[in-house]
Amino acid sequence: MELSVTRRQLEFIRSTAFETLFGGAAGGGKSYAQLIDALIFALQYPGSKQLVLRRTFPELKRSLIQVSLSLYPTSIATYGETSHRWKFVNGSVIEFGSCDSENDVTKYQSAEYDVIRFDELTHFTKFQFTYLLSRVRGVNGYPKQVKSSTNPGGVGHGWVKARYIDCLVPGEEKDGRLFLPARVQDNAFLMKNDPDYVHRLELLDERSRKALLYGRWDLFEGSILASFPRNCMSVCRRIRFPAGGNGILRSTTDWICWRRSGLRSHRTARHGSTGRYTAPG
């Protein structure tokens, strides 16, 4: 079996940071890098356990699972249609999972993994991510890592940006975190075989073009409310803050709720970072 990877994909595979984010343009080779990296890890560390997550199972099935079926060698691994797991002859396991609602994280209660991989990290909430971090553990002495890939945008855009983009220099690990920017032009395989792909991205509306073609994270600056999808807004409408006292704003969604309910907020609540709000009266 012979596989080639791009320079960026190699950096992702080689990253030893506890948290690595491969983020940016659509088609930069992020998901493919996750699958190759998972395969290498599984072969390198016999008996290792990895979890590959997308927010919903249908997304997982038509993307990562499908690609893994065409990529992973069936001479050394078997895929279980019901368990959604690749089992390798050396005892390693790559499990595919989803985490649709906030409470779905409990599906992974008491499980342990050497590596957890989030594909489309900005589709997850900070609560889900933080909870699942606690599932990265074990006594086998193997590296313990969280590896994520994503486009900008999505419900978790704010917290992902605050965690990896605003405070890190791309390519430089700091406090156990590494951000690797993804550009579609870096994916020589796609550029060669589908040279019109970039032109199709150019036809997108301005904000989608910014996110998917240029992989830019400054999507929502200046117009936060306008930037959220309708389903997000309808979720917001159903959330109620307590009538008085203090609380914590945990997400951009909370921030929108604050806007709608007329409460006063600490400035840091903007763009999804944590801040306090104070209810009037």
Ligand X SMILES: Nc1ncnc2c1ncn2[C@@H]1O[C@H](COP(=O)(O)OP(=O)(O)OP(=O)(O)O)[C@@H](O)[C@H]1O
Residue ranges binding ligand X (CB under 6 A): 4-6, 9, 26-32, 151, 182, 187, 189-190
Residue 154 vs 263, nearer CB to ligand X: 154
Residue 8 vs 135, nearer CB to ligand X: 8
Structure tokens at 249: 């704003």
Strand blocks (E) in the chain: 19-24, 49-54, 77-80, 85-88, 93-98, 115-119, 145-150, 177-182, 246-249, 264-265, 275-278
- The site partner of 156 among Mg ion, ligand X, none (C-beta below 5 to 8 Å per kind) is none
Residue 89 vs 188, nearer CB to ligand X: 188
- The site partner of 10 among ligand X, Mg ion, none (C-beta below 5 to 8 Å per kind) is none
Residue 189 vs 241, nearer CB to ligand X: 189
Residue 31 vs 148, nearer CB to Mg ion: 31
* Minimal distance, residue 94 CB to Mg ion, in Å: 17
Please report whether residue 31 would count as binding Mg ion according to CB under 5 A. yes
Please report whether residue 148 would count as binding Mg ion according to CB under 5 A. no
* Minimal distance, residue 53 CB to Mg ion, in Å: 13
Give me the sign of the Cα torsion angle 50, 55, 56, 61: negative
Residue 31 vs 48, nearer CB to Mg ion: 31
CB of 42 closer than 8 Å to CB of 94 = yes
Closest C-alpha among 18, 25, 59, 34 to residue 202: 25
Residue 51 has φ and ψ, to the nearest 5°, of -120, 125
Per DSSP, 269 falls in state G
* Minimal distance, residue 81 CB to ligand X, in Å: 22
* Minimal distance, residue 106 CB to ligand X, in Å: 27
Give the integer Cα–Cα distance in Å for 140 and 253. 39
- Burial level of 259, CB count in 10 A (0-12/13-18/19+)? middle
Residue 131 vs 189, nearer CB to ligand X: 189
- The site partner of 151 among ligand X, Mg ion, none (C-beta below 5 to 8 Å per kind) is ligand X
- The site partner of 158 among ligand X, Mg ion, none (C-beta below 5 to 8 Å per kind) is none
* Minimal distance, residue 189 CB to ligand X, in Å: 4
- Burial level of 113, CB count in 10 A (0-12/13-18/19+)? buried
Give the integer Cα–Cα distance in Å for 47 and 112. 12
Residue range at the interface with Mg ion (CB under 5 A); choices 25-33, 76-84, 173-181, 207-215: 25-33
DSSP calls for 87-120: EETTS-EEEEEE--SGGGGGGGTT--BSEEEEES
* Residues touching Mg ion, count (CB under 5 A): 1
- The site partner of 215 among Mg ion, ligand X, none (C-beta below 5 to 8 Å per kind) is none
* Minimal distance, residue 279 CB to Mg ion, in Å: 41
Closest C-alpha among 125, 154, 145, 119 to residue 274: 125
CA dihedral of residues 222, 227, 228, 229 (deg, nearest 10):
170
* Minimal distance, residue 212 CB to ligand X, in Å: 7
Query: Where along the sequence are the contacts to Mg ion (CB under 5 A)?
Result: 31
